[in-house]
Chain A
Amino acid sequence: MSVPTFADQPTILSRVLAARELPTVLAIALLGVVIAIGNPSFLSTYNLQLLGKEVGVLGIMAIGEMAVIITGGIDLSAGAVVALTSVLAALGLQAGLPIGLVVLGVVAVCIAIGAVHSFFINTVGLAPFIITLGSMSIWRGVVLVMTQGYPVKITNPGFLMIGQGDLLGVPVQFILLVVIAVIAAVILIATPLGRYAYMIGNNAVATRLSGVPVSRVTMFTYILAAVLFGLGGLVYAARLGQGMPGIGNGLELAVIAAAVIGGTSITGGSGTVWGTVIGAVLISLIMNALNMLRISYFWQDFVTGLVIVMAVLFDILNRKRRASQ
């Protein structure tokens, strides 16, 4: 478990061959072939765009989750924050607020949520999973109380573009993912903040003793996660044309799964943006396969659960093997 630096990635070729993402990429290719054989419309423009949308929104959120997991934390509030922000955006738009203000408002709410998580974890000393679990329940409740369970319609065409528009055939949310991925990768690889995040995940105590502002770094990751979940909520709201209080149930699992499949260690200290995006592709592809191969929607939770457990076990056993070498 070492901090990735430029030195660890000498050439593209050696990186590809040694990459732990390789099995995931192969799995994606294999699954793609299987689905395409089972259902030729898999390769239709419509389905590929659908896939691109799914990868876009899942990837954006998974990058946030990855940042938290790298520092050795976890955020279970993804699904609830998505529901909250999608409803807030819809209510804001219904009230006639301009799009820019709605987006800013949602981001501000998410910054507050992330800061609260970080306060309870860093200052009070709660385990990350328990405060974000409580948070999940609280925000889910807030959304239901606000809407009484009813969806809130969105008619603003400009806003709907975020989830339904495309640029030369590429869905807007996929472009959004690319932009966010580049920014996140630069932060993680090329700034002290990124290096500190990996150091904290590897050994929080030693990192603190060496003078790194640990709480500020982890606070940044929890805020980043909440904001990216919030962007996910905006995208979902725009895609569905409504703020839905029940949306995103269990989404936190898909998001964690994408990060872990992409090589983010669940115990912290490692993870790459690129790997996480690949993980998001695999998860989206599996969900797409359920549709394409006409496997009942009811099996979706079962498959997500299996995938995440296998990814975690693979990660942990792999790490053990390497440690013993």
Chain B
Amino acid sequence: MSHGNKVESLPIAERKVTGPSSWSRLLHRREMTVAYAIIALCIVNQLFNRNFATLFNFQVMLRQIAIFGLISLGEMIVIITAGIDLSIGAVLALVGVVEAMFVSRAGWPPLLALSAGLAAAVLIGIYHGVAVSKWAVPPFMITLGSLSIWRGLATGVTRSYPILINDEVLRWFGQGILLGIPVPLIILAVVVVVVSYLLNSTRLGRNIYAVGGNIEAARLSGIPVARVLIAAYTLASFLVGIAGVILAGRMAQGLPSVAGGYELNAIAAAIIGGTSFFGGVGTVPGVLLGSAFMVVIDNSLILMHVSPYWYPLVVGSVIVLAVTIDVVSTKRRRRAEELMGV
């Protein structure tokens, strides 16, 4: 994996990732390395296990990628602002629990219960954004606190028991099929289009990249930094909320212990997809490939009958490796730019 060299050899003007043509540049960029890795993984899988390339297994993976994709896109948006969100697993669980409690215990209409879950996610996102931008709390600190608080709230109110969701409509979001396509995948597709448009073609999107690239420069050029950060964290939480609705629908329950450690998955997918920890860099297609990579890894471990206990080990190693590559290549690029007098 030597994306570093490729990035370095690109002319500087082409290195801006914010342009609308990021899809077309896909074939020439580091994202392709990830695509090749995915294909290689698939081939290895198929060689070792005939069950890999089956319709059923692909359906399983596609449903999984909807959830991984949504949370990874959320994580990407926050990392582009040079922040981080460690609360993803907890918020995902809380949204499902809130939805399940309102529909099954309080007897709310399904869509209202769903909105309550999403509203919880949005409020959490606003709180993160305000804490980071107005109170200057380090992003990892406020979201680490959130990880504990929201997981704790979900566990506390349910006394750690799952709450069943019998409602057809809510289950449809996780289990339904529309025109032969799993509903979660359709939701992901819509989100991908919206987020791509938002990041590439709106002022907010440009501001998100600008704030992450250089927060002082962004502030001096009149960008409302606090509002941009609040929007980024809120959007990220909202995407996690959607993933929570899908997962709750798929399991037909609000499970307080679900999605533990998903934030690590999302971080890994985002970084593998080319999002830089230094901020200001990250693309939707890259992160989708990163999520696909994580899903295939997850899937191959299961199909190869490797103990699930290996999973945290693999995810942790992938994160360390991917971030190291990101840091080393960014440093090298910056040194090259300095030499060129940029």
Q: Which residues of A approach B to under 8 Å, CB–CB?
A: 74, 76, 120, 124-127, 129-131, 133-142, 144-145, 148-149, 250, 253, 256, 266-267, 296, 298-306, 308-309, 312-313, 316-317, 320
Within 8 A of A (CB), among B294-336: 307, 309-317, 319-320, 323-324, 327-328, 331
Cα A157 to Cα B277 with chains together (Å): 49
Q: Establish whether residues A135 and B144, one from each chain, have CB atoms under 8 Å apart when the complex forms.
A: no
Which candidate, B19-27, B57-65, B148-156, B219-227, is the interface stretch facing chain A?
B148-156
**With a CB–CB cut-off of 8 A, which chain A residues contact B267?**
130, 133
- Number of chain B residues close to chain A: CB under 8 A: 46
B213 within 8 Å of A by Cβ? no
Query: Is A250 a contact partner of B328 (Cβ separation < 8 A)?
Result: no
Contact call B152/A305, Cβ cutoff below 8 A: yes
Complex-state Cα separation, A78 to B147, whole angstroms: 16
Q: Which residues of B contact A (CB under 8 A)?
A: 84, 86, 131, 135-138, 140-142, 144-153, 155-156, 158-160, 261, 264, 267, 277, 307, 309-317, 319-320, 323-324, 327-328, 331
The majority secondary structure among interface residues of chain A is: helix
Given B140, B145, B160, B328, which contacts A308 in the complex, CB threshold below 8 Å?
B145
Tell me, rounded to whole Å, the shortest Cβ–Cβ distance linking A21 to chain B: 21
On whether the beta carbons of A316 and B136 are closer than 8 Å, the reply is yes
Q: Among the interface residues A145, A303, A305, A308, which one has the most CB atoms of the partner chain B within 10 A? A: A305
Do the beta carbons of B142 and A134 come within 8 Å of each other? no
Chain B contacts of A267 at CB under 8 A?
A: 138
Cα(A296)–Cα(B158), bound, Å? 11
A138 to B315, CA, bound (A): 8
Assess the A125–B327 pair: CB atoms within 8 A.
yes
Additional A-B contact list (14), CB under 8 Å, known A125-B327, A130-B84: A130-B267, A133-B264, A134-B319, A137-B315, A140-B316, A141-B316, A142-B313, A144-B309, A266-B141, A302-B149, A302-B152, A305-B151, A312-B142, A316-B136
Give chain B residues whose Cβ lies under 8 Å from the Cβ of A145.
307, 309-310, 313
Which of B311, B314, B324 is close to A124, meaning CB atoms less than 8 Å apart? B324
- Whether A298 lies near B316 (C-beta < 8 A) is no
Kindly provide the distance from the CB of A114 to the nearest chain B CB, expressed in whole angstroms.
15
Query: Which of B138, B155, B324 meets A302, CB within 8 Å?
Result: B155
Distance (whole angstroms) from the CB of B12 to the closest CB of chain A: 22
Pick the contact of A304: B140, B152, B313, B316 (CB < 8 A).
B152
Q: Which residue of chain A lies nearest to B156 when distances are taken between CB atoms in the complex? A: A299
- The answer on a CB contact under 8 Å between A298 and B159 is yes
Once the chains bind, are A148 and B317 in contact (CB under 8 Å)?
no
Determine whether the beta carbon of A296 is less than 8 Å from that of B156: yes
**Cross-chain contact A141 with B142 (CB below 8 angstroms):** no
Enumerate 19 A-B pairs (CB-CB under 8 Å) in ascending A order: A74-B140, A120-B324, A124-B327, A125-B328, A130-B84, A131-B320, A131-B323, A133-B319, A134-B317, A138-B313, A138-B320, A140-B312, A140-B313, A141-B313, A149-B309, A253-B144, A298-B160, A299-B152, A309-B142
Enumerate chain B residues within 8 angstroms of A304, measured Cβ to Cβ: 148, 152
Assuming the A-B contacts A125-B331, A141-B311, are A301 and B148 also in contact, with contact meaning beta carbons closer than 8 angstroms in the complex?
yes
Contact, CB under 8 Å: B327 / A135 = no
Q: Are B261 and A137 in contact (CB under 8 A)?
A: yes
Give CA–CA (A265, B280) in the complex, Å: 28
From B140, B152, B158, B313, contact of A137 by CB (8 A):
B313
Q: Are B316 and A266 in contact (CB under 8 A)?
A: no
Residues of the B chain whose Cβ atoms lie less than 8 Å from the Cβ of A299: 152, 155-156
Chain B residues near A76 (CB-CB < 8 A):
144
Q: B156–A130 contact, CB under 8 A?
A: no
Q: A263: shortest Cβ distance to chain B, in Å?
A: 16
Bound-state Cα–Cα, A126 to B326, Å: 9
Minimum Cβ distance to chain B for residue A132 (Å): 10
Neighbouring B residues of A301 by C-beta, 8 Å:
148-149, 151-152, 155-156
Chain B residues positioned under 8 Å from A124 (CB to CB): 324, 327-328
Chain A residues within 8 Å of B149, by CB:
301-302, 305-306, 309
- In the bound complex, what is the Cα–Cα distance between A72 and B311 (angstroms)? 31
